[in-house]
């Protein structure tokens, strides 16, 4: 009798586990309420039994798509998407059946970085109560990736798609929300999906594949200089990439928004580090998607005067080194007393204006800050040229943040005068100017703007 009972238990267990193994399963981001990138081909994937036949139908297309699970229980199907719209359904059938409801076709963006990207309205935001109350946008969908780290690349993340409401918006990335809101309004309610995968206090290196860093001596040396221990986050290269980015690779996106750099303060090669991150992510997606980032804000760092501006200048230089990128400068909307500026709305809006102009060809006027282009000397006088310089002006009576150095490399305060859309700079202490810098201090807040009201980026450069 005992043997019969054991035999029956074994059969039941086999049936249960057999069915469980056979069931189609999907990554967390293929779910109800999701947004798929419109007007393209998207890949949908999951797991099932080897040789299990999988059929997929979507309510916006007539065709049925089929494949089978491979010997590693993996399958994938590519399907076309059409113009913006929804809600739609996706039905995936094998030994079991999965139906995804309330699916939208629109624009999908991935947000990442450290605490200023992670920062939510519930954590503290300018005008938070009114912003939360107004956050009823059924066509905006939000997905927050749960914090995880791993030594090895993972297959899935934790999280779920949520319709944007006051209840969901207040716990989502504020920068990501204001970006999505601006896009939604300008694109006339095209559905916007935003995936937030960020973690406060992280260095850029933990978001880059470890082998990529190991194979680049500049990145590898820079990685040794970041904090090696933290109570708040992983510190080893690749750990959040493996768990929070690698599983997303292949989910079709329009681009990435990045807000990070405070933990990498004082890195003069941050442009190489962030450039490596961009290249490694684009390689993982096999896609040269847009990558827009926020120049870190002025802040009173301990132990020096220049750690923050060194990173800001590296971020500026990256624009000339990596294609399909853009940067927003926020030195005019931040406070140098708080490493977490609470005025996130203009940050998201400026990122959105970059995307609207570059990705969606909307006429938003000037969407980038004045950026150093060249400096030429004629005797003591230096003429400084900027990109995005239309309507160059100061909100004070004069520009006060220029400094000039001669052959000895010692910088002296300089006088600066506006001449059309250029700046004429000179210093009585420097007879033969060789170098020039602007807003070169951790807490420097720009006093030079273009006609769009965007502040000029800090810089240091050689004089021709």
Residue 155 burial (CB < 10 Å; 0-12/13-18/19+)?
exposed
Taking the C-alpha atoms of residue 364 and residue 64, their distance in angstroms, rounded to an integer, is 41
Residue 193 CA: distances (Å) to CA of 141, 180, 240, 248? 5, 8, 22, 14
Phi-psi region of 282 (alpha: psi -120 to 50; beta: other; left: phi over 0): alpha
Per-residue tens of pLDDT for the chain, all 464 residues? 434 443 333 333 333 434 444 589 999 999 999 999 999 999 999 999 999 999 999 999 999 999 999 999 999 999 999 999 999 999 999 999 999 999 999 999 999 999 999 999 999 999 999 999 999 999 999 999 999 999 999 999 999 999 999 999 999 999 999 999 999 999 998 999 999 999 999 999 999 999 999 999 999 999 999 988 999 999 999 999 999 999 999 999 999 999 999 999 999 999 999 999 999 999 999 999 999 999 999 999 999 999 999 999 999 999 999 999 999 999 999 788 899 999 999 999 999 999 999 999 999 999 999 999 999 999 999 999 999 999 999 988 889 999 999 999 999 999 999 999 999 999 999 999 999 999 999 999 989 999 999 999 999 999 99
Q: Which residues contact 379 (CB under 8 A, 6 or more apart)?
A: none
Right CATH for 105-358 from 3.30.70.360, 3.20.20.70, 3.40.50.1110, 1.10.540.10: 3.40.50.1110
Residue 265 burial (CB < 10 Å; 0-12/13-18/19+)?
buried
- CATH architecture group of domain 2-103: Sandwich (2.60)
Residue 126 CA: distances (Å) to CA of 156, 180, 330, 341? 35, 18, 15, 9
pLDDT of residue 168: 98
């Amino acid at each position: 009798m005992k043997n019969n009972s054991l035999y029956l238990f074994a059969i039941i267990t086999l049936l249960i586990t057999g069915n469980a193994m056979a069931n189609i399963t999907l990554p967390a981001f293929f779910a109800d309420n999701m947004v798929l990138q419109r007007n393209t081909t998207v890949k949908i994937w999951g797991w099932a039994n080897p040789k299990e036949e999988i059929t997929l139908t979507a309510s916006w297309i007539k065709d049925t798509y089929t494949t089978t699970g491979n010997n590693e229980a993996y399958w994938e199907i590519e399907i076309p998407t059409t113009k913006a719209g929804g809600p739609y359904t996706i039905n995936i059938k094998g030994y079991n059946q999965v139906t995804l409801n309330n699916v939208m076709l629109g624009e999908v963006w991935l947000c990442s970085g450290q605490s200023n990207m992670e920062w939510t309205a519930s954590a503290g935001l300018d005008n938070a109560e009114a912003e939360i109350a107004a956050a009823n946008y059924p066509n905006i969908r939000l997905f927050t990736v749960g914090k995880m780290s791993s030594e090895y690349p993972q297959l899935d993340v934790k999280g779920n798609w949520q319709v944007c409401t006051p209840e969901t918006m207040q716990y989502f990335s504020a920068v990501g929300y204001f970006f999505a809101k601006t896009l939604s309004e300008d694109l006339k309610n095209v559905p916007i999906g935003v995936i937030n995968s960020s973690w406060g206090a992280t260095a850029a290196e933990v978001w880059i594949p470890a082998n990529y860093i190991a194979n680049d001596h500049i990145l590898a040396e820079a990685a040794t200089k970041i904090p090696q221990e933290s109570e708040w986050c992983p510190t080893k290269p690749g750990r959040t990439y493996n768990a929070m980015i690698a599983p997303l690779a292949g989910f079709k996106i329009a681009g990435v928004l990045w807000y990070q750099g405070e933990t990498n303060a004082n890195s003069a090669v941050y442009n190489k580090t962030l450039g490596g991150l961009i290249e490694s992510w684009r390689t993982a997606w096999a896609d040269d998607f847009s990558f827009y980032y926020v120049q870190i804000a002025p802040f009173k760092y301990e132990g020096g005067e220049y750690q923050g501006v060194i990173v800001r200048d590296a971020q500026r230089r990256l624009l000339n080194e990596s294609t399909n990128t853009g940067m927003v400068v926020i030195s005019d909307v931040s406070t140098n007393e708080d490493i977490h500026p609470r005025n996130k709305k203009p940050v998201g809006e400026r990122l959105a204006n970059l995307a609207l102009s570059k990705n969606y060809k909307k006429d938003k006027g000037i969407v980038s800050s004045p950026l150093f282009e060249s400096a030429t000397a004629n005797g003591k006088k230096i003429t400084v040229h900027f990109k995005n310089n239309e309507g160059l002006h100061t909100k004070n009576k004069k520009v006060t943040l220029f400094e000039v150095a001669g052959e000895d490399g010692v910088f002296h305060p300089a006088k600066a005068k506006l001449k059309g859309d250029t700046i004429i700079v000179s210093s009585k202490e420097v007879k033969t100017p060789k170098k020039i810098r602007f807003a070169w201090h951790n807490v420097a807040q720009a006093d030079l703007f273009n006609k769009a009201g965007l502040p000029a980026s800090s810089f240091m450069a050689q004089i021709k």
